[in-house]
Amino acid sequence: MRNKILTVDDSKTVRVIVKNAFRPFDCEIVEAANGVEGLALAGKELPNLILLDVTMPVMDGVEMLTKLKSDAQLKGIPVLMLTAEGGRDHVIKIAKIGVRDYVVKPFKEEVLVEKAGRIIELKPLSDGVVKIKSISDPAVILVVDDKPAIIEQIKNGFKHTPWTVHGVATSEEAMDCCTLSPPDLIIISLSLPDEAAFSLHRALRSSVKTKFTPVFGLVVKTEMAAQQQAQMVGFATVITKPIDMVDLEGRIAKAMNLDTSQRYFSFDDSLLMMKLPDNCTNIVLAEVTNYVKPRFSEAVDAGINKAVIDLRALKGLHIGIIKLLVHTMLVCRDLGINYALLGNVQLANDCRGFEDTKNWQFLDSLEKARINLGLGQKPAAAEAEAQA
């Protein structure tokens, strides 16, 4: 549910500053200009957090806080005091009445958001209707590793993507980067000195800006203890060195919840194409399996009832691929889609070895597949070949 924050301040300026500070987050701001209005709104709106000024006309912040804490219905609402009074005695006094924290004016918006984020969960706001990011959208990946060669390898490995890779050597530099402009994903070497990877992970999780940013660990295969520790503390995944860039790309896409379907599916006005890559890892198979039903349904909705399943890049068959293809064929049958399989000699030979696949027929070109599906004229040569 969307968080509601009540800001009580006699200064409209401060209320606008508060609104601006929380604008990037999914929360609603309600305003009151003094303690009386604040109490009334607190009872009506039951906010998740109250930001309370101290010096106000009509009823000041301390009086409102005292009344709030004596109201059974409202006393549980956490209060963050905004005060120009930074003295120790004053802070002790308001702490005794029951504030969760306080911010001394003048204050930076980031400090206010940070402190509020420790009390309520602040989720970054998506722009209007949630747009699913796709694999072709730009993204920023921050790599924290004191070995420049690793950063370089990741940069080079993602040159074909629209992603930008920034590399830094220390956790301090990483925090600076994240404060300035939070990346979409962070990869941290678990081998940084003094367990810096884990303290950085803690800092990232406690910062509102990076609380939900996926964080990957990076370590050599043999460092089992570090891998286990990373899994335990909540790293999204651990990548082992030497880095398999295809695997890393798949994991990043999954962690960032990117729509990767355009890698495997394409449409034209009469045909849906599904194409499997040569390296069908488990991640790839899982991705394609998830997309099959929605993409084929989308095709039917667009008036397309013919599909070509292109397997020519495959170097062989295994049970994972067979399961995916059987699933795809069932979806086609259920949706009334006619399909043709494109394959190669190796694949055709492999298929003969399995009960489920021994009857599968492959064509070797898209042109033949289109003709097979009734979408093109048979060329004379092909017709002659067919007759022969």
Binding site for another protein (CB under 8 A): 10-14, 16-17, 20, 54-57, 60-62, 83-87, 89-90, 104-108
d(CA 369, CA 309): 9
- Whichever of 15 and 295 has its CB closer to another protein, that residue is 15
Shortest Å, Cβ 145 to another protein:
34
Q: Which is nearer to another protein, 55 or 297 (CB)?
A: 55
- 13 burial type by CB count under 10 A (0-12 exposed, 13-18 middle, 19+ buried): exposed
Q: Which residues contact 208 (CB under 8 A, 6 or more apart)?
A: 25, 113, 114, 116, 117, 122
Q: Which is nearer to another protein, 35 or 167 (CB)?
A: 35
Residues 186, 144: contact at Cβ < 8 Å? yes
> How far apart are CB 257 and another protein at their closest, in Å?
31
Q: How far is the CB of 236 from another protein (least distance, A)?
A: 34
Residue of 305, 308, 309 whose CA lies nearest to 297: 305
| Residue 110 beta carbon to another protein: minimum distance, rounded to whole angstroms | 11
User: Which C-beta is closer to another protein: that of 29 or that of 190?
Assistant: 29
Q: How far is the CB of 294 from another protein (least distance, A)?
A: 41
Q: Nearer to another protein by C-beta: 63 or 146?
A: 63
User: Shortest gap between Cβ of 248 and another protein (angstroms)?
Assistant: 39
Least distance (Å) between residue 373 CB and another protein: 58
Nearer to another protein, 85 or 367 (CB): 85
Q: What is the DSSP string of 207-266?
A: STTTTTS-EEEEEETT-HHHHHHHHHHT-SEEEEESP-HHHHHHHHHHHTT-B-GGGTEE
**Cis before 106? omega within 30:** yes
> For residue 67, how many other CB atoms are within 10 A of its CB?
17
Q: Closer to another protein at the Cβ: 92 or 381?
A: 92
Rounded distance between C-alpha atoms, residue 157 and residue 246, angstroms: 9
Q: Find residue 259's DSSP bridge partners.
A: 134
**Is omega for the bond preceding 57 within 30 degrees of 0, making it cis?**
no
